[in-house]
Each structure stands twice: as C-alpha cells, then as structure tokens.
Amino acid sequence: MTSGEDPSSRADADPYALALRSGREPVYLRLGDGRRIRMPVHRWFAQPTAADESVLHRCAGPVLDVGCGPGRLCRALLGRGIFALGVDAAPRAVAHTLGLGGIALCRSVFDRLPAEGDWQTALLIDGNIGIGGDPHALLRRCIRLVTATGVLIVEVGPHDVEERCTARFEDIHNHQGPPFPWARLGAPALRRIAEDLALSVTDQWKYGNRCFLTLGRRGSSSGRRC
C-alpha cells in the first residue's frame, strides 16, 4: 500500500515509515471524519495468503504491481518465472522489495514508467485503488499502462462504499504523519467508475473478507465476463 506520496520522506518518527521498518509496528489510517482503520502490516511482510494466491494465479506477465509495498506479490511472481516490477513512492518499501530479491522502482504511478502500454497485468491490491484520492484518474492512468488486451486486477472494500477523503497514518500513541488524499471503494462503486471509463468487469471474486475485480478494455478478449 502507498499513499501516492512518500510518507517516509519525513522524519523516521512517521508512523508509516516506522511500520515499514519493523514489519510489525501497528499503523492505522485515520480518515478525515475521525474513523481509524488498522492496516494489515503483518500481511504486507508475510508470504502470500490464500487470498493473494487467488490474485497471483490470474496474473499474466509481464506484471506491474502498483503500490507494491514490501513486494510480497511481485517477488512471488518472479519466483514463479513471471516477470513483475513493483512501483512504490515510499523508499523504505522499495528497499525491502529489492533486499528480498524483488525488482522495484521508487516512483509514483503517475510518473513516467518503463514499458508503458506493454504490461499485461497491473495490480492495485491492498486498497491501492485509493492512491491519489481519485479512482477515475488512477484507473485511467493504469489502463494506459497495459496492452490492448491487458487487465487491471483491483482489490476493493468488502462493503458498498464510495468516498474520497484526506487521511493520515497514525500509530498506537496517536502520533500522525502528513495528510494525503485517499479514496475507498466497494465493488458497486468500482463497477460504476469502470462503466464511466468504458472498461468491462471480466471477473469478480471473494476470498474470505477480501474482494477483487478484473477490469479490461471494453471489447477486448482479456477475460470472461462475470
């Protein structure tokens, strides 16, 4: 997960940077209305879960992992012989990915990226549909990164939600990082946005309390319609 900015560029006391450093430090997403959501830091550093595996076996290479965090998914794909590149705006996240044998760039998805238009799969997992606070702009950018028959695999919230907000990372002592724009979507909201962008939902599934959709260009042969 990444905020779309570099949360670790401030002092090391920043809650997000501390969480990435230890892999165990609790960190929360504090929304503008006061709600606090605990982030699954332990999952970001662990081996892929069964829910993650349901994503990985749908990936055709080459794969671009947007907001890769410590890189568990792109590293797993590389281990299976599928080329995958992680992209994250947080230097500490990229350092973890590289240190564990992955390939990653410290860059925003909105910056110039390698092989634009040639990726077969782009991933927006762990809530990364929220990057930049504008899902329309993010999906428009990501669909331009994949081939004409390429797909986006997107994780959404388990409930019907559609909100844009300003958020901060916060630790258990209520120390907060800098604010950044964020968004939260459920499957119905993602479907509405996909329709606006002339994208088709070609697959949708749940694993436990996690929900995923695959999007492709309308009329492409990128997958089955659900």
The one-letter amino acid at 196: D
**CATH level 2 (architecture), domain 49-165+182-217:** 3-Layer(aba) Sandwich (3.40)
- What was the pLDDT predicted at 223? 47
Count CB-CB contacts under 10 A for residue 25. Answer: 15
- Looking only at the bridges linking them, the beta strands covering 146-156 and 119-124 are parallel
Cβ–Cβ < 8 Å for 86, 68: yes
- What was the pLDDT predicted at 17? 79
Using a 10 angstrom Cβ sphere, with 0-12 exposed, 13-18 middle and 19 or more buried, the burial of residue 26 is: middle
The one-letter amino acid at 79: G
- What was the pLDDT predicted at 225? 42
- What was the pLDDT predicted at 224? 45
* Nearest alpha-carbon partner for 124 in 97, 98, 88, 95: 88
- What was the pLDDT predicted at 16? 83
- Running along the chain, 226 residues long, what does each successive block of 10 average in pLDDT? 49 74 82 91 92 98 97 97 96 93 97 98 97 98 98 96 95 91 97 98 96 93 49
- What was the pLDDT predicted at 2? 62
* Nearest alpha-carbon partner for 63 in 202, 214, 174: 214
